[in-house]
Amino acid sequence: MKRIILLYTSLLFLLFCQGLYAQEDGNERKVATISGNLETNGNFFVEDSLVGAAGTPQYDHQLYGADAWLQLNYNYMGFDVGLRFDLFNNSNLLNPQDSYSAQGIGRWYIKKKINKLGISGGYLYDQIGSGIIFRAFEQRPLLIDNALYGVRLTYDLTEDWQLKAFTGRQKQQFDLYGSTIRGFSADGFITGGEESNWTLAPGFGVVGRTIDDDMMNRIVNTIESYDIADSIGAKYNTFAFSAYNTLTAGKFTWYVEGAYKTAEQYNNPFAEQANGTIGKLEFNPGSVLYSSLSYAQKGLGITVEGKRTENFTFRTNPFVVLNRGMINFLPPMARVNTYRLTARYNAATQELGEQAVQLDIKYSPSRKLGFNVNFSNITDLNNDLLYREIYTEVTYKYKRKWQLLGGLQLQTYNQEIFEVKPEAPLVETIIPYVEFLYKFDRKKSLRTEFQYLLTEQDLGSWAFGLLEYSVAPNWSFTISDMVTTDSEQFFKTVEKNGRVLPVDVNRSMPLHFYSLSAVYSYKSNRFSLCWCRQPEGIVCTGGICRYEPAFNGVKFNVNSTF
């Protein structure tokens, strides 16, 4: 690995020197370009056992944690070269209850297009279709970085048809998983001609994964420990296939994708063994059918989505859990909410079994007025409800002076499945919300938010308020508070979940989770400082979720692009 990094650094230095020489020579075709970005987060932990911000290394003795990513991109004569340095100091992103410290080269890559042939090597991000059988991507807030460390070739058969093949292993922090991955896809574009109003974008893909010998020995040993009634098969190679197409006809767009995965061993955390133990390896094929239909015209947009998933967990090995070792990506089927309380309960994609439908309607009869209605319903394969949401939103704009936005959200959330809490009741919520934006002039504005979450389950009901004052283009100041309105329910639930509360806690007093932040932006630099207190919860991005522990302290963030 050290030799690879040394070779890569030497190549980068040589290309840089050549680029400088070319600039002096005045040949524009040989001018080198360098760009990059920095993202860094600093957390200062202050123990607060009342809200659960305690009992981890960060609060007990480390008191500080940081995450940072520094990316450098270089382009010269058709070569694209990239290098990224990653750093984690006392980070809780990998494990919310533990501390992770490591640093090193998190990614490097080299790309070159030679006529119709594209060559890429290093840590690569890519996907086939919508990602159902393969997606190598990064999601930093969830510490997902499942880049494929390998080689990719693309070939342009024509202007409208391309072939792609790749092989490699998946990244695991600063190491690699043992299993090998390879894939192939063909993507095209078909038009009906200049006078027609329809197009097709068909595609086909296949991905194979081979378990390494050490992991197969572990799988076999695990299966041999089962009772005879739970005994299953095991094999090294698994293949996933998908066919997909996008049809555009006038105001309609229709996407459909079907995928099939050959039988393999996978982990089912909800299955019961013959001896009563929960969780075991199973051996079955998997399938996914996903489709979306959209209609758009002036002032009106309608989208309908549907998905059925069965046993489609596709990972580097069956023992990785949560967000680790994912080879593919299953499209989420619930709305991505942004307000603090409307986003408190999120529907994580269920790999083993899910039937879902979503309808979204946007209507704007004028520039001043807009409506949005969203409905989603997710069940398991036995039609047991997992998640249901009805979301309504109305927006009114008065000239350029002010804007009023408000609505109502209704949710049913299966906490037993999404948060793996046995015998937890379905969470039923009613959430009214309103946002008001007032512009004093072209630079100064004040934005307010008010939300109320009404529920008798989980941690009880909440109220949330926010004030944000902005001075464009540099400054923004925000103060907010999220407060329990049923404190007895809150403390009753946290004790049931195993947390020990301070002896002198007043169970009838409201509990405040405040936030005070300032953001300064200058050109391509952004600095953020926040003093905040937040409860535990589930954070989701695009249907992928992770547990977010309670926090109390100071957060500092820097983003810079150059």
Sequence-separated (6 or more) residues with CB below 8 Å from residue 338 = none
H helices present in 384-503, as ranges: 415-418, 487-496
Whether residue 52 has pLDDT greater than 70: yes
Mean pLDDT over residues 450-455, rounded?
Answer: 96
Q: What is the pLDDT of residue 421?
A: 85
Confidence band for 278, pLDDT divided at 50, 70 and 90: confident
Q: Mind listing the pLDDT tens digit for each residue in 72-103? A: 999 998 899 999 999 999 999 998 889 999 99
Provide the residue count of the chain. 562
In DSSP notation, 164-186 reads EEEEEEEEETTEEEEEEEEEEEE
| Kind plus residue range of the DSSP H or E element containing 17 | helix 2-25
Residue 381's CB: how many other CB atoms inside 10 A?
Answer: 14
Residue-level pLDDT at 25: 42
**Rounded distance, CA 30 to CA 21, Å?**
9
Residue 61 DSSP label: I
What pLDDT was estimated at residue 552? Answer: 95
Confidence of residue 9 (pLDDT cuts 50, 70, 90): low
What is the pLDDT at residue 317? Answer: 93
Return the residue matching tokens 């094999």: 235
Q: Coil, strand, or helix at residue 426?
A: coil
> Among residues 44, 29, 119, 40, which one has the least CA distance to residue 75?
29
Handedness of CA 276, 277, 278, 282 (dihedral sign): negative
From residue 546, give the alpha-carbon distance in Å to each of 296, 349, 385, 538. 34, 12, 21, 6
Q: What single letter denotes the amino acid at residue 23?
A: Q
Mean pLDDT, the chain, rounded, equals 91
Q: How many Cβ atoms from other residues are within 10 Å of residue 513's Cβ?
A: 20
> Confidence class of residue 205 from pLDDT cuts 50, 70 and 90?
very high
Map out the domains of the chain as residue ranges: 115-331
List the beta strands (DSSP E) in 16-147: 33-45, 64-76, 79-91, 100-114, 117-124, 126-127, 135-136, 138-139, 144-145
Q: For a pLDDT cut of 70, what percent of the chain falls above it?
A: 95
Report residue 133 as tokens: 């059988």
Q: Is residue 96 within a helix (H) or strand (E), and if so which, with residue range? A: none
Given pLDDT bands bounded at 50, 70 and 90, which one contains residue 322? confident
Q: What is the pLDDT of residue 543?
A: 72
Over 60: is that where the pLDDT of 50 sits?
yes
In the prediction, which pLDDT does 521 show? 95
User: 333: closest CA among 389, 294, 371?
Assistant: 389
Task: Say yes or no to pLDDT of 215 above 80.
Answer: yes
Task: Report the pLDDT value the prediction gives residue 2, as an integer from 0 to 100.
Answer: 55
Estimate to the nearest angstrom the gap between the alpha carbon of 444 and the chain centroid.
33
388-393: long-range contacts, CB 8 A cutoff, minimum separation 24: 388/412, 389/334, 389/335, 389/347, 391/335, 391/337, 391/342
What pLDDT does 501 receive?
A: 80
pLDDT at 24: 41
Strand, helix or coil for residue 329: coil
Dihedral of CA atoms 272, 278, 283, 287 in degrees, nearest 10, equals 90
Amino acid in position 279: G
Look at residue 23 in the predicted model and tell me its pLDDT.
Answer: 45
Asked if 337 and 391 count as a contact pair (C-beta separation under 8 A), the reply is yes
Confidence of residue 12 (pLDDT cuts 50, 70, 90): low
DSSP 59: I
Q: What share of the chain is helix, strand, coil (3-state, %, to 5)?
A: 10, 55, 30
User: Which of the four pLDDT bands, split at 50, 70 and 90, describes residue 516?
Assistant: very high
| Residue range 209-235: mean pLDDT, rounded | 91
pLDDT above 80 for 525: yes
Q: Is the four-CA dihedral 344, 348, 354, 358 of positive or negative sign?
A: positive
141: pLDDT strictly greater than 90: no
pLDDT for 173-192, tens place per residue?
A: 999 999 999 999 999 999 98
**Which is higher by pLDDT, 501 or 289?**
289
Q: Structure tokens of 128?
A: 């086939």
Phi, psi at residue 215, to the nearest 5°?
A: -70, -35
